[in-house]
Amino acid sequence: MLREMGRASIADLFRGVPAGLRLNRLLDLPAALSEAEALDHFRLLADANATRVSSFLGAGAYDHFIPTVIDTLISRSEFYTSYTPYQPEITQGTLQAIFEFQTLICELTGMDVANASLYDGSTAAAEAVLMAERVTGRSRVAIAANLHPEYREVVDTYIRNAGIAAQTLPTDAEAGTLAPGPLEDLGPEVAAVVVQSPNFFGGVEDLTALAEATHRAGALLVVVVAEGLSLGLLRAPGACGADVVCGEAQSFGIPLSFGGSYCGFFAVREKYQRQLPGRLVGQAQDTQGRGGYVLTLATREQHIRREKATSNICTNQGLYALMATIYLSTLGRRGVREVAEQNLQKAHYAAGRVAALGGHRLRFTAPFFNEFVVTCPRPAAEVLDRLRGRGIVGGLPLSRFFPEMTHDLLVCVTETAPKAEIDGLVDNLKAEV
């Protein structure tokens, strides 16, 4: 090839790089591994993680059963080695799947329009705040104290330089859900009230009441859903009056994978569809009247609008939105409901048994879905250390995010926990009394 081009050497092709900048050595990296060696190497690393424990961790990342068909289908090269569908004639598969994803998210959340997905639940929450500021022209945001603390940190990062100030709405000490009082007093500058339901402590919020109070102040209600499967049972936030419903679709067939990649979703009322961040797929027709799908309303986006775009995002989580779409199709109307029901029942069975132990008690009184807070008779970190010695990861010590909650433990029970494992947790907690 070089000869054909009349070039003497490969180095000749790099003559644009000043000689002083050329690396005249190999990179200081390990020598290449064969396939067998690389596989061994990664197996060793993977095995250095203890994943075969009895785990009751949730807190924004949920262990749910993943049907085999998902990996079968997303392993098709046509899906995972394809690019963003900018050329609709040869990416109708991706485009139609995203259209189905958008529809499924609308159905679950009770909203009119959903985008093609965002990075994760936390950045979806941050984008919702930025959108609320655009829509209302107001520059304050009121955020529930029981929003996932990492989501809150992300929102704070995104708004720091955007001229938006945040205030915190306190949690009712007894119920664990938002205290109603402060909502009556939002003031005229609040663009959005951001609440999570089920909240970080597992409690289900009274969204209808929150929507009324929020709208009285002329603000948007942003409902964040970190546990998507709760929507299988709980009234759709859209039916409660939410203006934006966003969150995390990880529960829909996406592996835990140490926290990523996940899949944020974002749904709004129709009147805000031109203010949405991220990609959107819509129906279109060709010159012969044949129907298909295209990326649409692109004039909101960075490649057209540059610094005036609704967001800097340039991608979605295509393959992971596809996973969620396959999950929601496979489980379908009956399955999503049944999985949600099993989560509810198992979590309540566990909570009931823990509460009956004496010594441990349930911290909050609000209704919950599959997570609840246990107050231990001694520091939660100590309790967890001893449980771990018996192969149980008993939950998340809340002191990690709330230093004053020294004795509190966030416990998540999903459909993947057999009764025997739940009983194992309870029996071991009993020893801590």
Partner 1 sequence: MKATTHISQNEGLIFERSRAGRVGYRLPALDVEAAPAAELLGPALLREDDLAGLPEVSEVDVIRHFTRLSTWNYAVDYGMYPLGSCTMKYNPKLNERVARLEGFAAAHPYLPDALAQGNLELLKRLEECLAEITGLPAVSLQPAAGAQGEMTGLMVIRRCLETRGRARRRVLIPDSAHGTNPASAAICGYEVQTLKSNARGAIDLENLRRVVDEDVAALMLTNPSTLGMFEENIEEICRIVHEAGGLVYMDGANMNALVGVTRPGDMGVDVIHLNLHKTFSTPHGGGGPGAGPIAVTAELEPFLPLPRVAGEPGALRLDYNRPQSVGRVRAFHGNFSVLVRALCYILSLGPDGLREATETAVLNANYLAHHLEPDYEVAVDGQPMHEVIFSDKRQSKHGVHTLDIAKRLIDYGFHPMTIYFPLIVPGAMMVEPTESEGREELDLFIEAMRAIAREARETPELVKGAPHNTRIGRLDEAAAARRPALRYRAAKA
Residue 123 contacts residue 311 (beta carbons within 8 Å): no
- What does 55-89 look like in DSSP terms, one character per residue? E---TT-------HHHHHHHTSHHHHT---S-SGG
Considering only residues 174 to 203 of the shown chain, the ones binding partner 1 according to CB under 8 A are none
Identify residues 22-61 at the interface with partner 1 (CB under 8 A).
22-23, 26-33, 35, 38-39, 41-53, 55, 57, 59-61
AA identity, residue 53: V
Of 122 and 214, the one with the shorter C-beta distance to partner 1 is 122
Q: What is the DSSP letter of 185?
A: G
Task: Using the CB atoms, write b or e for 325-337: b if 16+ within 10 Å.
Answer: bbbbbbbeeeebe
Coil/strand/helix, residue 54: strand
Q: How far is 134 from 22, CA to CA, in rounded Å?
A: 47
CB of 241 to partner 1, least distance (A): 13
67 is an interface residue for partner 1 by CB under 8 A: yes
Looking at residues 104 to 163 of the shown chain, list those that interact with partner 1 (rule: CB under 8 A): 104, 106-108, 110, 112-114, 116-117, 119-123, 130, 148, 150-151, 153-154, 156-158, 160-163
Site for partner 1 in 235-294 (CB under 8 A): 235-236, 239, 248, 255-263, 273, 279-288, 290-292, 294
- The least CB distance from residue 235 to partner 1, in Å, is 5
Angle separating helix axes 380-389 and 419-430, nearest 10 degrees: 120
Residues written for the chain: 433
Residue 41's contacts (CB-CB under 8 Å, 6 or more residues apart) are 33
- Please state, in angstroms and rounded to a whole number, the distance separating the CA atoms of residues 131 and 167: 17
Q: Which of 166, 180, 243 is nearest to 210 (CA)?
A: 180
Give CA angle at 341 (336, 347), nearest 5°. 130
Stretch that binds partner 1, among 137-145, 171-179, 183-191, 329-337 (CB under 8 A): 329-337
Q: Judged by CB, which is closer to partner 1: 282, or 377?
A: 282
Q: 110 CB contacts (<8 Å, ≥6 apart)?
A: 235, 236, 237, 238, 239, 240, 242, 245
Nearer residue to partner 1 within complex by CB, 241 or 255: 255
CB atoms within 10 A of CB 25: 5
4 binding partner 1? (CB under 8 A): yes
Say whether residue 403 binds partner 1 (CB under 8 A): no
Q: Which tokens is 107 given?
A: 């159905």
By C-beta, is 141 or 294 nearer to partner 1? 294
Distance CA 229, CA 70 (A): 17
Q: Which is nearer to partner 1, 139 or 218 (CB)?
A: 139
Neighbours of 197 (CB within 10 A): 29
Q: Residue 205 has which token pair? A: 């919020």
Size of the site for partner 1 (CB under 8 A): 195
Give residues 359-398 in contact with partner 1 (rule: CB under 8 A): 367, 369, 384, 388, 393, 396
In the complex, what is the shortest distance from the CB of residue 218 to partner 1, in angstroms, rounded to a whole number? Answer: 25
Nearest CA among 192, 195, 193 for reference residue 137: 192
Nearer to partner 1, 218 or 402 (CB): 402
List 355, 418, 431, 433, residue binding partner 1 (CB under 8 A): 418
CB of 360 to partner 1, least distance (A): 19
- Specify the stretch interacting with partner 1 by CB under 8 A; choose among 185-193, 299-307, 356-364, 424-432: 299-307
C-beta of 68: minimal distance to partner 1 in Å?
9
Angle separating helix axes 149-159 and 121-136, nearest 10 degrees: 40
Position 399 contacts partner 1 (CB under 8 A):
no
SS3 147: coil
Minimum distance between the CB of residue 234 and partner 1, rounded to whole angstroms? Answer: 6
Q: Return the residue of 167, 168, 345, 365 that touches partner 1, per CB under 8 A.
A: 345
End-to-end CA distance of the chain: 76
CB of 177 to partner 1, least distance (A): 11
Please identify, using beta-carbon distances, which residue of 25 and 185 lies nearer to partner 1: 25
Q: Does 72 bind partner 1 (CB under 8 A)?
A: yes
Closest to partner 1 by CB, 186 or 412: 412
Pick 72 or 187: Cβ nearer partner 1:
72
Q: Measured from the CB atom, is 188 or 291 closer to partner 1?
A: 291
Minimum Å gap between C-beta 431 and partner 1 is 20
**Distance of closest approach, residue 285 Cβ to partner 1, in angstroms:** 6
